Structure 1
Amino acid sequence: MVFGIPGDAVTAIAVGVLVMKGLDPGPTLMTLHPENFYAVMIVFAIANVLMLPLGWVAAKSARWIFEVPRALLNAAVLLFCIVGSYSINNTMFGVTLMLAAGVVAFVLESRMIAIAPVILGIVLGPLVETNFTTSMIIADGNLVGFFSRPVAAGLGIVTLLIWGVTIVHAIQGFLVKCRQDPGLEE
């Protein structure tokens, strides 16, 4: 919350909720709205304490859910998703968007691609774009401005190296799979 950078999908959702509620997660949250930061931390602490007895009771009482056929459970979840996405703006566009996102998520999951980075990109995209634009204005459109200070240069070089190594390993893995299964090249 202090840096405004979520580390996982759950934190990304929390940051998204804060942004929707008009709060700006990041360093200014502690200076402009410290009461909101402490309120969130206290609520998290209370939720963790209450989760022990309430979670135990919920787990015991929800045992019957596992006996419901999967098809019925999936249909109920889909119904609630459709009603929820329609009720946001009372238009079918929300339902269409939800179904398209569901299809994309299904395809990503079937290809063993993690969905959490996609959620992080959706949540952080506008924030990154705003900060990048501000940085480009300050640096007069010069990308070298990101590497002008020693710490920034070091972090930038490490980031570029990590990206480069990841891309090279992905390409090498793909080439190895292509050599093992010639049908992949098509």
Structure 2
Amino acid sequence: MACIVGSFAINNTVFDVGVMMGMGLVGWFMEENGFPVAPAILGIVLGDMVETNFVTTMIKAKGDLFAFFGRPIAAALGVVTILVWLSQVLLPLLRRYRKGLRFYPSKDREARF
């Protein structure tokens, strides 16, 4: 009940209550199907702010993406971030390769994953 009152109190519109209930259903669906809800909430809350600041930075840097890596600390953090992203993709593939598992299903319906 507090969620309904809070969502109505922000702009005094019933539309906001509907949006809150709709997002609640999306969150429930995600939770029931094993999707993590926290990253979705972070994306919804921080997405607009991150996009605005990214566009501002791109305007100041005249479209140069390497402006993010111009200083040594920023470059180190950027490299660490890229390595973490790559490790999330490459390490599971490497583990499967070491176990001798195929990366694609076989034609005889006995695909080993």
Same fold at TM > 0.5: yes
Residue aligning to 1:160? 82
- Are positions 1:137 and 2:62 aligned together? no
Between structures 1 and 2, the one with greater helix share: 1
Q: Does 1:93 align with 2:15?
A: yes
- Choose from 20, 24, 27 the match for 1:102: 24
Pairwise mapping of residues 143-182 of structure 1 onto structure 2 (< 5 A)? 143-168=65-90
- Tell me, in whole angstroms, the C-alpha distance in 2 between the residues paired with 1:127 and 1:112: 28
Match of 2:98 in 1: none
Which residue of structure 2 lines up, in the alignment, with residue 111 of structure 1? 33
Equivalent AA in structure 2 for residue 90 of structure 1: N
Question: What residue identity is the alignment partner of 1:153?
Answer: A
Equivalent residue, structure 1, for 2:48: 126
Aligned length: 100
Structure 1: segments with no counterpart, 5+ residues:
1-78
In structure 2, C-alpha distance between the alignment counterparts of 1:147 and 1:136, rounded to whole Å? 13
Gap regions ≥5 residues in structure 2 = 96-100
Provide the alpha-carbon RMSD of the alignment.
Answer: 3.0
SS of residue in 2 equivalent to 1:140: coil
Cα shift at 1:169: 5.2
Segment of structure 1 superposing worse, 87-96 or 97-106: 87-96
Q: Separation in 1 of the partners of 2:91 and 2:36?
A: 18
Instruction: Tell me the alpha carbon deviations over residues 33-66 of structure 1, each in whole angstroms, 9 at most, x when there is no partner.
Output: xxxxxxxxxxxxxxxxxxxxxxxxxxxxxxxxxx
* 1:136 CA drift (Å): 0.9
Question: What's the TM-score, normalizing by structure 2?
Answer: 0.67
2:54 alignment partner AA: F
Q: Give identity over the alignment, percent.
A: 48
Instruction: Give the letter for the 1:142 counterpart.
Output: D
